[in-house]
Structure 1
Amino acid sequence: MKKKLIIPIMLASLVPLIASWFAYPDTHLPPGFGVFPPQFVAAAPGFNLIVFSALAFVELVILALYISPTLFGFKKVAPAAPNKPLPLPVWFWVGLVSTSFFLWLMWTRVTIFGGLVYYAFTPLWWSFIFTLDAMVYRYNNGQSLLSSKAKTLVISALVSLVGWRMFEYYNYFALGNWYYPQTESIPSLSHEAVVVIFLLAYTTVWPAIFQWYMLLNTCPSLTSRYSQGPKVNINGNVLLYAGYALLFLMVFWPYPLFWVLWIGVLMVFSGLLIKLNIWTPFADMAKGNWTSALLVALATMLNGFVWECWNYGSAHPQMPITNPNYWVYDIPYVNVIHIFSEMPLLGYMGYMPFGVLALVMWIWAGNVFGFDTKIIDSDQH
């Protein structure tokens, strides 16, 4: 079974390299490949009304699905009674104070703490993760990752480190949908220190998503809202090989296919697990229950607003940027109407397929390495 899980994913990593051999006959690799953290490569194409309108239409349909699911064939289901809230645990207050401190430090760049500001990003996010965990504990009968599944929380950090590094890899072939302009402009940090800072920051992505996901699942009106909808069966083989094809073509047309960076990888992982009859949110969708897919997508978009807000705050125009993790987007065709300075309006819904992918990659990793992947009880792992 493990070979059946590992080999197709290894192939998905090789597909862009194979395509690059033909797409870039002189270097056989895209410009900027391997520079870590990724830097600016070339200016992406500017605004395109047709692409913007088409993507906006798709996103409006998705928004309508969340707001009025009955328009899409979902049945109204009476929600269960919510759990009685418990007192907030001590780590809520510790996390809240720590989050406030590191956010203040990163945004104000005070010098009294010396170079600590360069390292604020990761403890900021872990403090926030613990704060969210405490909210889950409060509304989930005292059950949370920290209180009940500490091992799962640690493993999610390790999966996050590898998982986000994989996205940085695919980003090279998309010619830099995002990049990190400050990594070379902080003279007091060596390149080795910057690499460590980035790898530590990568550990926060999956845990933050999972905390939001668990928190949304404590709301019965949400978990029942999307539980009886249209039954959608997806063919795993079609999804898998279509994902391979899109990843190959993205190398030749990185700007028109910039979205493949997220969708193509999701198709590969999901198609593989569907093919092997391993549970994913798509297995529930085949039964008409869209809850897992829609709530993990929503959780990731909510967290995305926090990501972008805090990233924006670390780049005050009248002060030097001291956050090595500060990122800038260079998204073709739709890079307009920015919220929190860097992320374009339509980009926020890009977090949604990424959230589903994060859960699917987590399930894949659990089946490869043999750990429990259940985040919430209703997930049928």
Structure 2
Amino acid sequence: MSRTGVILVFLALVLGLPLLGVLWAGEPLERYVEFPPRAIYVQHESFSWPVFITLTILIALAVGPSLVRVVSINLRPSSLPAQHSVLNTQQHCRPFPWWGWLGIGWTGLWWVVAWTRFPGLAAVQEHTFTPLWLGYILTVNAATFARTGRCLMLHHPRYFLSLFPLSAASWWVFEYLNRFVQNWYYVGVAELTSIEYFVQAMIPFSTVLPAVIGTVDLLASYPAVGTGMDCFRPIRLYSTKQISWLFLIVSCLGLFAIGRWPNYLFPLVWVGPLLLVVSLQELVGRPTILSSFAKGEWRGLWISALAALVCGFFWELWNWKSLAHWEYAIPFVHRFQLFEMPLLGYAGYLPFGLECVTIADLCLSRQVLENRDMTVMNNGHR
């Protein structure tokens, strides 16, 4: 199956299965396709200490070994490879570009606009998300350029620009899945027409992938961020096809039932699409983001997850006091909020980072760019 075939099958399953689940449950279909979304129909469960503690333990077990390895190796500087020290020395010789300072100033300006209520700025205070993130994207590209001499914006402009429409299209998938669990909702959309909502949402949605992928590149330029993760525990599966079929079946069943049990299956909004696309790629013989597991190369996954978490922090920070913003309603764990997001909700950004890289690789062949840039960097530092 071609790459286009994988994308089409993925979209058919991820869009169709939840609706089939709703029909099977006998729920009215209209409220799930309402546009813009206005009705609140999911009754979320209240906070539960047993669930909160259980999920905290599961998240710690999933992330803890990698975090401990990176921290422990970084506490032993002599264990860092020699080429990392050389690379850092050469990277710090480059000045931060002027357009990076422009990005920082631009971001700071819109941050002030977003968090203040000056009467003269009322017309733009509902539209600060996009300029804030354009400034962030410009800044991370500048920082990457200062460290490596390369960045997506300057050296792969076609790929960089392609990320914007791809981002807008891909985020609508998550917005669609959220209709079945209603874990977040936007304040102030009730007054918008369908066209106004589409346009005002599409433009901010277009900044998600450029921000995450740009942050991946920046974090990758710091050897300490992923130290030890390129030679971690290999995971070799001796029945890859059978495991892939299992993942495919589980993800399909989960997405089918997500509208029936939203309080219990809401994590599948973030995990389900990843398992689905990875299993499809594996079954048709295409490389996946998890293929490096067999060699013990976890650095790419680790950095991708961290990049989304970094972006998530700024998404939630800038959303917090903005006039136009989103709020959360997460069952069982809605407590200990950092900005609007409950603390455990930040764990959702980790698989989301893997999904961002998977989307970019599947649709735009990001892996080819990574290999090309790595060759250039290695040749430049010999």
**Normalised-by-shorter TM-score class:** 0.7 to 0.9
1:133-172 pair list within 5 angstroms: 133-140=141-148, 142-172=149-179
Q: TM-score, normalised by structure 1?
A: 0.87
1:291-302 pair list within 5 angstroms: 291-302=299-310
Structure 2: 5+ residue stretches without partners: 73-78, 375-382
Cα distance, 1:42 vs structure 2: 3.6
Cα distance, 1:292 vs structure 2: 0.8
- The equivalent of 1:179 in structure 2 is 185
Q: Distance in 2 between matches of 1:11 and 1:134?
A: 39
- The equivalent of 1:364 in structure 2 is 362
Pair 337,312 (structure 1): closer, same or farther in 2 beyond 3 Å: same
Cα distance, 1:312 vs structure 2: 0.6
Cα distance, 1:237 vs structure 2: 2.4
**1:201 correspondence with 2:204:** yes
The DSSP-based 3-state class of the residue aligned with 2:46 is coil
Moved more, 190-199 or 208-217: 190-199
Task: Please state which structure has a larger fraction of its residues in helix.
Answer: 2
- Number of residue pairs matched? 358
Give the conservation status (yes or no) of the 8 Å contact 1:160–1:202.
yes
Cα distance, 1:150 vs structure 2: 1.3
The DSSP-based 3-state class of the residue aligned with 2:59 is helix
RMSD of aligned Cα (Å): 2.5
Q: Distance in 2 between matches of 1:379 and 1:135?
A: 16
Q: Distance in 1 between matches of 2:30 and 2:294?
A: 39
Structure 1: 5+ residue stretches without partners: 315-320
- The equivalent of 1:318 in structure 2 is none
After superposition, the C-alpha distances for 1:165-210 in whole angstroms (9 at most, x for unaligned) are 0111111122x0111122236xxx6653332121000001111111
Give the conservation status (yes or no) of the 8 Å contact 1:65–1:71.
no
Match of 1:126 among 125, 130, 134: 134
The DSSP-based 3-state class of the residue aligned with 1:328 is strand
Pair 379,96 (structure 1): closer, same or farther in 2 beyond 3 Å: closer
Cα distance, 1:351 vs structure 2: 0.4
Cα distance, 1:248 vs structure 2: 1.0
- The equivalent of 2:377 in structure 1 is none
Q: TM-score, normalised by structure 2?
A: 0.86
Pair 253,207 (structure 1): closer, same or farther in 2 beyond 3 Å: same
Match of 2:117 among 109, 119, 125: 109
Match of 1:268 among 273, 276, 282: 276
**1:41 correspondence with 2:65:** no
- The equivalent of 2:378 in structure 1 is none
The DSSP-based 3-state class of the residue aligned with 2:110 is helix
Counterpart of 1:165 in structure 2: which amino acid?
W
Give the conservation status (yes or no) of the 8 Å contact 2:42–2:262.
no
- The equivalent of 2:256 in structure 1 is 248
1:3-82 pair list within 5 angstroms: 4-9=5-10, 10-25=12-27, 27=28, 29=29, 31-37=31-37, 40-69=40-69, 78=81, 80-81=84-85, 82=88
- The equivalent of 1:377 in structure 2 is 371
Give the conservation status (yes or no) of the 8 Å contact 1:156–1:206.
yes
- The equivalent of 1:349 in structure 2 is 347
Q: Distance in 2 between matches of 1:32 and 1:184?
A: 16
Pair 96,120 (structure 1): closer, same or farther in 2 beyond 3 Å: same
Percent sequence identity is 27
After superposition, the C-alpha distances for 1:249-303 in whole angstroms (9 at most, x for unaligned) are 2222111111111111110011111222323321111211011111100110111
Q: Distance in 2 between matches of 1:91 and 1:41?
A: 47
Give the conservation status (yes or no) of the 8 Å contact 1:247–1:260.
yes
Pair 328,212 (structure 1): closer, same or farther in 2 beyond 3 Å: same
Give the conservation status (yes or no) of the 8 Å contact 1:38–1:172.
no
Q: Distance in 2 between matches of 1:7 and 1:195?
A: 23
The DSSP-based 3-state class of the residue aligned with 2:334 is coil
